[in-house]
Structure 1
Amino acid sequence: MDLPADCGDHAPLDGPSYEVMFLLDDTTSDAVGVLKSTLHDLGDSLVVAGGPDRYSVHVHVDDVAAAVNAAVGSGHAHRFRITRFADQRSMEPPEFAVLALANGQGVAHQLQRAGITTVTDWRDEAALCARLGRSGTLFLCAAPDAYDAARALGPDHHVVVVGRDSAQAIAAAAVLDPAAGFDQLCATAREAAGDVASSRVVGDPGDDALMGQIRDLIGVGGDAELVTLVTGEGLAAARIDGLLSAVRHERPSLEVTHVAGGVGEPLLTIGVE
């Protein structure tokens, strides 16, 4: 793999100069823990998702060589993609853009897997404006505050804002056709998000109450076919397994999907389609 010749020499004032992404196989949980610690010290915007057989890693750094060395020392690291932000900024903005605004690392990874450009630093209005399309931007928002941030861009920018939680954003992202025109993308996203009955649980009411909220939403969905549970870091693995098992036991005809949303996500987001 060829690295850029000037790695680490031109860090912008507002953060690291490079985005590094790769896949990691043939590793262990201990090795992944060490990798996370190393990359955290090297830069920011760290996302490590997936596992245990394959991890997807994303980080912003100045020292690309150090990041790559940490990767190859942690297992079978491959499919590297290294981008210098200065090169991105020099490119003309696209005619229109589709951007997903996310908090949790797991949600960001899920949206990226759907082929959507995902922004986690969306609270920086200048950084967000730099990503807008020339003639329009579709925002898929995975949180109420992300929805507010996109709407706050005002009439100077042609923006269409869809979704107020991770379940709605994930549903919209899953059905978008990159080859479609802007108006068609917006209509499809609105329809998909509108078909999701959803609820965000911020506090912890206990497992019985959580299951009650899931039942209520399934009832609202009527002929529901899919239940998506997006969990935050506050919900332990045993409790997640219990909820998933209970839903599958009570409604075996439903497809049940779990997304580990991680830090930044509420305790539980429930989506029913």
Structure 2
Amino acid sequence: MSARQMAAVAARGVARCCMSTPLSNERGRFRGRCYTPAESAPLPAVLMPGTLDLATFRRALEIFAEELRGHREEIDSLNVYPVPDGDTGTNLLMTQEAVVTALASLPPEGVEPDELGAAISRASLKGARGNSGVILSQILRAICERLAADGTLGPGELAAALEHASEEAHRAVARPVEGTMLSVIRDAAGMATDAAASERDGDDVTPIIEAALGEARRSLARTTERLPELTQARVVDAGGKGIVLMLAALLAAVQRRTPAEPIGPLGPIGRSWADGVRAELDFRNEVQYLLEADASSLGALRGALAGIGDSLVVVGGGGLYNVHVHTNEPGQAVAAGSRAGHTSNVQIADLQESVTRCLAGQARATRVAEQVCALVVVAEGDGIIRTFRSLGAVVLKGGPGHHPSVVDLVAAIEGAPSGAIVVLLNHRDIVPAADGAAAATSKEVWVIPSSSMPAGLSAAAAFNPLATLQENAKVMEAAIGACRTGVLTRAGSEAETPAGPVRRGEWLGLAEGDVVAVGAAADATAVEVVRRLGAETAEMITVIVGADVAADDRRAVESILRISFPTLELELLEGGPPASPFLIGVE
């Protein structure tokens, strides 16, 4: 990519970050979120302090979102379990933001308890993100199921609601683990039940919440010793901190005051490497989707998903469920959901990539929440895959002999964050599968086959998530057409070529598919290939270096191209397809 292209990509990255992040947290200072008039409207009147009525409950949910915004950086940094991908605070916040948005659409007064509960349950279920967000949605749903007909919760009813929330959250998780948010909600609910049994002060729920919050804080502190991953990293559980904030928000709403839960020290994730945080993952992909299905089909679904992954959580009810699993078989995970019912909002995240970014001290990438168009790419080579992802693409691994299936492509399309998708292929053999996937999804899809990996990178650099599908297709196809491509590889046997005879192991240079140079030295052959690609009218050269290229050959090619074409910008990208020593693009 040229400097001009990189600048454009960087500018889009700023826009992407600003649009996708509800708030930017700077240790307690907030900026960047715009509220609708409904969200900014005065809250409805509430009863006397100590009473938990519908208005107070709504206010507690608003405060909870505010607290998650303030603590997001802290919670993200604590996220070492189940994988250290640094997004628990963000996932909790996104889930709760969906609830706040749903509340803003309701009248400030006159909402019946069952209507309020249904709105909260559905919003949290559909808006849930990640393992922690899915569990939180089940907790909120369970509490709403215990809302009294008159809209109030007394001490006994509140304790029973928390117990129900704990039970439902545990039931939703296939393999509950001690030392997580499940432990914290269970311990807090148990203390609330004990406090309610001895409470004789009418309808005041303050002592119940204080008891639950105090035990939640103590339980959170104990998570460090309960879970080996937390012990090694010397942190508390990230999701457990979210439970503490939820109860603190409930207490603040009941007492009509501002919550005072302190922001704790930052953990290791998202800042720098820390001892005890492991990058090795048993399951690389996080798969999540909404499922419309009969409850009778869930047993078979859980069994299928448990056989191919872990961190399995299925929450919901009334025919709508949110499914979450970590797996190495994302296509199979989505297919299992399709057998059980109708899937939608499919999301597939690369956990290994997220962990690598976090352990390297980089913020996890965020996508445009309101983007017009999304990009799905099929590519080969670890370095090239990272480059495409840095340009905002959802990437599927694929190359000669191991192309993605229609099911894999459908899963990637469904998981991409837009209803309009450009599918960029770097191998024409994948076109039939991509066309099949486009026909199998309800999203609008435009398939663009690239002539080569360098041309595909040029097209991806031209992609703009804020442009329409048609606009992106036009500029990306133009970028592919403007890139002339060549290959530098070793001959597998002796042969006569248009450029002369070549011996086994010597270098073979191709320009736009034609053999134009042969030789014993990679550097001289590369120069001839670039010349034949029209260097005299070009602006830049892109060289993708294969994973198995010797360091001496790489240095020789880079050096000779810089010397031979001093006016052209040279971009070298490591980690190309293993079977292709040098892929060259001239544009």
TM-score, normalised relative to structure 2: 0.33
Unaligned 5+ residue runs, structure 1?
12-21, 46-60, 83-93
**SS in structure 1 at match of 2:423:** strand
In the TM superposition, 1:141-152 aligns within 5 A as 141-147=425-431, 149-151=433-435
Name the structure 1 match of 2:533: 220
1:138 positional shift: 1.8
Name the structure 1 match of 2:547: 233
Name the structure 1 match of 2:581: 267
Q: In structure 2, how many angstroms separate the alpha carbons of the residues matched to 1:95 and 1:249?
A: 43
Contact 1:151 1:161 in 2 (8 A): no
1:171/1:75 CA distance change after superposition, 3 Å: closer
**SS in structure 1 at match of 2:466:** coil
**SS in structure 2 at match of 1:231:** strand
Name the structure 1 match of 2:407: 126
In the TM superposition, 1:55-94 aligns within 5 A as 62=310, 77=361, 79-80=363-364
Name the structure 1 match of 2:306: none
**SS in structure 1 at match of 2:572:** strand
Q: In structure 2, how many angstroms separate the alpha carbons of the residues matched to 1:76 and 1:155?
A: 39
1:78/1:249 CA distance change after superposition, 3 Å: closer
1:191/1:145 CA distance change after superposition, 3 Å: same
Query: Does 2:468 correspond to 1:181?
Result: yes
* Aligned residue among 521, 544, 566 for 1:208: 521
- Percent of aligned positions that are identical: 19
Contact 1:172 1:190 in 2 (8 A): yes
Query: Does 2:391 correspond to 1:114?
Result: yes
1:232 positional shift: 1.2
Contact 1:218 1:272 in 2 (8 A): no
**SS in structure 2 at match of 1:180:** coil
Q: In structure 2, how many angstroms separate the alpha carbons of the residues matched to 1:115 and 1:219?
A: 33
Q: In structure 1, how many angstroms separate the alpha carbons of the residues matched to 2:428 and 2:554?
A: 23
**SS in structure 2 at match of 1:248:** helix
Q: In structure 1, how many angstroms separate the alpha carbons of the residues matched to 2:430 and 2:404?
A: 8
The residue type paired with residue 218 of structure 1 is R
Q: In structure 1, how many angstroms separate the alpha carbons of the residues matched to 2:553 and 2:272?
A: 28
1:234 positional shift: 1.9
TM-score, normalised relative to structure 1: 0.65
Q: In structure 2, how many angstroms separate the alpha carbons of the residues matched to 1:117 and 1:272?
A: 25
1:62 positional shift: 4.1
Q: In structure 2, how many angstroms separate the alpha carbons of the residues matched to 1:241 and 1:10?
A: 52
Contact 1:230 1:259 in 2 (8 A): yes
The residue type paired with residue 384 of structure 2 is V
**Aligned-pair Cα RMSD in Å:** 4.0
Name the structure 2 match of 1:56: none
Question: Higher RCO, 1 or 2 (CA under 8 Å, sep at least 6)?
Answer: 1
The residue type paired with residue 465 of structure 2 is P
The residue type paired with residue 568 of structure 2 is L
**SS in structure 2 at match of 1:178:** coil
1:167 positional shift: 0.3
1:224 positional shift: 1.1
**Deviations for 1:29-55, whole angstroms, at most 9, x for unmatched residues?**
xx9xx966x33xx2247xxxxxxxxxx
1:142 positional shift: 2.8
Name the structure 1 match of 2:123: none
In the TM superposition, 1:2-13 aligns within 5 A as 3=88, 4-5=131-132, 9=173
1:96/1:178 CA distance change after superposition, 3 Å: closer
The residue type paired with residue 216 of structure 1 is V
1:241 positional shift: 1.2
* Aligned residue among 254, 261, 266 for 2:568: 254
Mean Cα deviation higher: 147-156 or 100-109:
147-156
Query: Does 2:458 correspond to 1:171?
Result: yes
Mean Cα deviation higher: 210-219 or 257-266:
210-219
Contact 2:372 2:468 in 1 (8 A): no
1:164/1:111 CA distance change after superposition, 3 Å: same
Name the structure 2 match of 1:52: none
1:156 positional shift: 6.2
1:199 positional shift: 2.3
Bigger radius of gyration: 2
Contact 2:372 2:465 in 1 (8 A): no
1:77 positional shift: 4.2
Mean Cα deviation higher: 143-152 or 101-110:
143-152
Q: In structure 2, how many angstroms separate the alpha carbons of the residues matched to 1:23 and 1:193?
A: 36
How many residues align? The count is 224
Mean Cα deviation higher: 191-200 or 203-212:
203-212
The residue type paired with residue 392 of structure 2 is G
**SS in structure 1 at match of 2:412:** coil
Q: In structure 1, how many angstroms separate the alpha carbons of the residues matched to 2:524 and 2:270?
A: 35
1:172 positional shift: 0.7
**SS in structure 2 at match of 1:235:** coil
Q: In structure 2, how many angstroms separate the alpha carbons of the residues matched to 1:179 and 1:24?
A: 30
**Deviations for 1:179-237, whole angstroms, at most 9, x for unmatched residues?**
11111100000000111111234545336356424533433324111111111122122
Q: In structure 2, how many angstroms separate the alpha carbons of the residues matched to 1:245 and 1:140?
A: 32
**SS in structure 2 at match of 1:118:** strand
